[in-house]
């Protein structure tokens, strides 16, 4: 009997988690990139961050996914620590929307939803309809899993040992809290652990007062997902995950203390929830009571903490000290209000372009180092910064194209076109650095060794290229036309030297000095380097055209 119950519970849980995953993926695909943009951009005020965190989590059906996404944004410099705390608070509320959804008696419609979801998912011609089908399919599988868990746990009502165990959770709430933490950590989802709790409740195995400490534990257990995702991230990301942990632990501990210190607290809480059903004249079930308590707890905890977000930020900064060297993503100098004064706006654009060049210059230097030293960690830093350059260029292009031509003088119009061209060329240079970083990964993974002559030639070229990059930055910063010949001649020189490098490589290959695999990597690196000089020559040409 015990084995049958365990298999049924695990099978139902697997279906529940799989259904939740399908529903989450379908909803995210339906919403597209707008969710990420919303999460990254509409969080300037704590209250807005809470609302956005609530909305996004309600849509993607996972507070863990939201908090992991937030940690990623903080790690990337798209979001500050204070902004992330507001979003995480909102995510705690948003995850209760899922709990509310599964607390309704919709199990009878599981197969209807599965049939409709499969029909849309497999046969819809429109991709968006297919995503909606995936969402409905996930919804059906989720409730099917919930039904299986409930039916599987029905026999536990007749088990004196299990019922005594459940009774002990009411007597010793700390045990219920620990159980909630452990189960949530094990399944990596507070919604999944809440689903198990609802299965017990619908089977009549657990009462309200025993279930509340488990919900408190689930709120603590769900913080471990974000904590794990922050392990390899920067300091600010670790602080965001710590803030999430402190916020949830504080709320759960506060309620636990009330349970132990205030006589009759749990019966009063239960009577309060029953009273709400009477006020709104809605059918009362154990599942609905638990879902409402879950939602109320997270809303109240958020309202308590809202005035103290600044204090929480300072606390986690002191707890995890140090200075983070994260590069800020997005635009740093541009003010949208300056569109009405294009000359000022274009000066700000120039600062952004120079910032792009400085970041790219560091990328190129690190790409050479990663290539020569076969350093994958340094290569990863280059690859991360390439994404930053892409975002700056995209935002910059959007801003420049939004400037109305009718408000621009001829000179301003030429400047605008010039900066569009230069930003595009700098982005291409960042792509070349990214390609070189990828080669560094290949070198390390395949234990490739360059010959001494190849290393020497790459080191020599690296010094020359970095000198040209510095000149290209000075060219844009000072509009120094005297530097134009240096960049154009540098490109021509690299064209002829590329052929020379190829011939030298073939000679080494014939003599057995160079490995064939190393030779392929060497030639690809030379091609990337030659392309860098092409872009810098084009920057010089763009200035001449302006």
Structure tokens at 481: 């036309």
Structural domains in the chain? Answer: 2-319 (no CATH), 336-545 (1.20.58.220)
Q: CB of 133 within 8 A of CB of 117?
A: yes
pLDDT value of residue 17: 82
Question: Which residue, 463, 471, 478, is CA-closest to 537?
Answer: 471
Q: What are phi and psi of 104, to 5 degrees?
A: -80, 150
| Spatial distance between the Cα atoms of 427 and 164, rounded to a whole number of angstroms | 66
| Spatial distance between the Cα atoms of 264 and 251, rounded to a whole number of angstroms | 19
pLDDT at 46 over 90: no
pLDDT value of residue 68: 66
Which residue, chain included where needed, has tokens 């009759």? 264
pLDDT value of residue 522: 82
Name the H helices within 281-375.
286-305, 309-319, 342-373
Cα 454 to Cα 439, 443, 490, distances in angstroms: 15, 14, 20
| Spatial distance between the Cα atoms of 350 and 479, rounded to a whole number of angstroms | 11
pLDDT digits (tens, 9 = 90+) for 445-497: 877 777 778 788 888 889 999 999 999 999 999 888 899 999 999 999 888 88
Which residue, chain included where needed, has tokens 């995209």? 394
Q: Span 507-513, mean pLDDT?
A: 71
189 contact partners, CB below 8 Å, separation of at least 6: 17, 20, 62, 64, 222, 225
DSSP letter, residue 259 = H
pTM: 0.58
217 burial (CB, 10 Å; 0-12 / 13-18 / 19+) is buried
Q: CB of 88 within 8 A of CB of 98?
A: no
Q: CB of 102 within 8 A of CB of 195?
A: yes
pLDDT value of residue 234: 66
Question: Which residue, 405, 530, 422, 529, is CA-closest to 479?
Answer: 422
342 burial (CB, 10 Å; 0-12 / 13-18 / 19+) is buried
Neighbours of 515 (CB within 10 A): 17
pLDDT at 73 over 70: no
Question: Which residue, 6, 21, 25, is CA-closest to 188?
Answer: 21
Structure tokens at 310: 């600044």
pLDDT at 197 over 80: yes
DSSP letter, residue 33 = T
Give the least confident one: 17-26, 137-146, 472-481: 17-26
| Spatial distance between the Cα atoms of 204 and 287, rounded to a whole number of angstroms | 10
pLDDT at 505 over 80: no
pLDDT at 253 over 90: yes
Structure tokens at 476: 């844009």
Q: CB of 294 within 8 A of CB of 103?
A: no
Q: What is the 3-state secondary structure (H, E, C) of 317-330?
A: HHHCCCCCCCCCCC
Average pLDDT, the chain: 83
Structure tokens at 534: 């092409």
Of these ranges, 31-40, 70-79, 239-248, 402-411, the one predicted with the greatest mean pLDDT is 239-248
């Amino acid at each position: 009997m015990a084995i049958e119950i365990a298999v049924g519970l695990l099978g139902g849980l697997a279906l529940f988690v799989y259904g939740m995953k399908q529903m989450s993926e379908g909803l995210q695909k339906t919403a597209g990139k707008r969710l990420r943009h919303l999460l990254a951009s509409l969080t300037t005020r704590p209250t807005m961050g809470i609302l956005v965190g609530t909305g996004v989590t309600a849509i993607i059906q996972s507070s863990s996914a939201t908090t992991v996404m937030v940690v990623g944004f903080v790690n990337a410099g798209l979001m500050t620590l204070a902004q992330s705390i507001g979003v995480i608070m909102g995510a705690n509320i948003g995850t209760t929307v899922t709990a509310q959804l599964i607390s309704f008696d919709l199990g009878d419609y599981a197969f209807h939803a599965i049939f409709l979801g499969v029909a849309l998912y497999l046969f819809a011609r429109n991709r968006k309809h297919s995503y909606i089908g995936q969402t409905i399919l996930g919804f059906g599988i989720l409730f099917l899993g919930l039904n299986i868990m409930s039916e599987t746990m029905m026999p536990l009502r007749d088990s004196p040992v299990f019922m005594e165990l459940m009774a002990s959770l009411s007597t010793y709430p700390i045990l219920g809290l620990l159980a909630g933490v452990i189960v949530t950590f094990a399944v990596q989802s507070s919604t999944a652990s809440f689903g198990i709790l609802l299965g017990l409740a619908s089977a009549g195995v657990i009462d309200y007062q025993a279930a509340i400490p488990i919900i408190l534990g689930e709120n603590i257990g769900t913080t471990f997902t974000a904590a794990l995702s922050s392990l390899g991230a920067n300091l600010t990301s670790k602080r965001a995950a710590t803030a999430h942990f402190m916020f949830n632990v504080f709320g759960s501990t506060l309620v636990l203390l009330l349970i132990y210190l205030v006589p009759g607290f749990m019966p009063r809480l239960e009577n309060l929830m029953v009273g709400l059903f009477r006020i709104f004249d809605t059918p009362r079930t154990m599942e609905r009571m638990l879902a409402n308590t879950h939602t109320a707890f997270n809303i109240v905890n958020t309202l308590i903490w809202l005035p103290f977000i600044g204090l929480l930020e300072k606390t986690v900064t002191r707890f995890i000290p140090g200075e983070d060297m994260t590069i800020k993503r997005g635009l740093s100098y541009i003010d949208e209000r300056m569109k009405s004064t294009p000359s000022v706006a274009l000066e700000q654009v120039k600062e952004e372009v120079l910032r792009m060049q400085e970041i790219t210059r560091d990328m190129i230097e690190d790409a050479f180092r990663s290539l020569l030293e076969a350093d994958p960690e340094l290569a990863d830093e280059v690859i991360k910064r390439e994404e930053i350059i892409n975002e700056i260029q995209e935002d910059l292009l959007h801003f420049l194209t939004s400037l109305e031509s009718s408000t621009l003088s001829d000179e301003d119009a030429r400047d605008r076109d010039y900066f569009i061209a230069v930003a595009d060329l700098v982005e291409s240079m960042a792509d070349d650095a990214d390609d070189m970083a990828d080669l560094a990964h290949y070198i390390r993974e395949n234990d490739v060794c360059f010959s001494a002559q190849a290393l020497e030639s790459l080191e020599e070229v690296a010094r020359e290229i970095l000198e040209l990059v510095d000149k290209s930055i000075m060219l844009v910063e000072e509009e120094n036309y005297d530097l134009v010949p240096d960049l154009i001649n540098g490109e021509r020189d690299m064209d002829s030297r590329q052929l020379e490098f190829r011939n030298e490589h073939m000679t080494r290959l014939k003599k057995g000095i160079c490995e064939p695999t190393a030779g392929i990597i060497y030639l690809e690196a030379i091609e990337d380097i030659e392309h860098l000089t092409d872009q810098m020559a084009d920057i010089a040409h763009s200035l001449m055209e302006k």
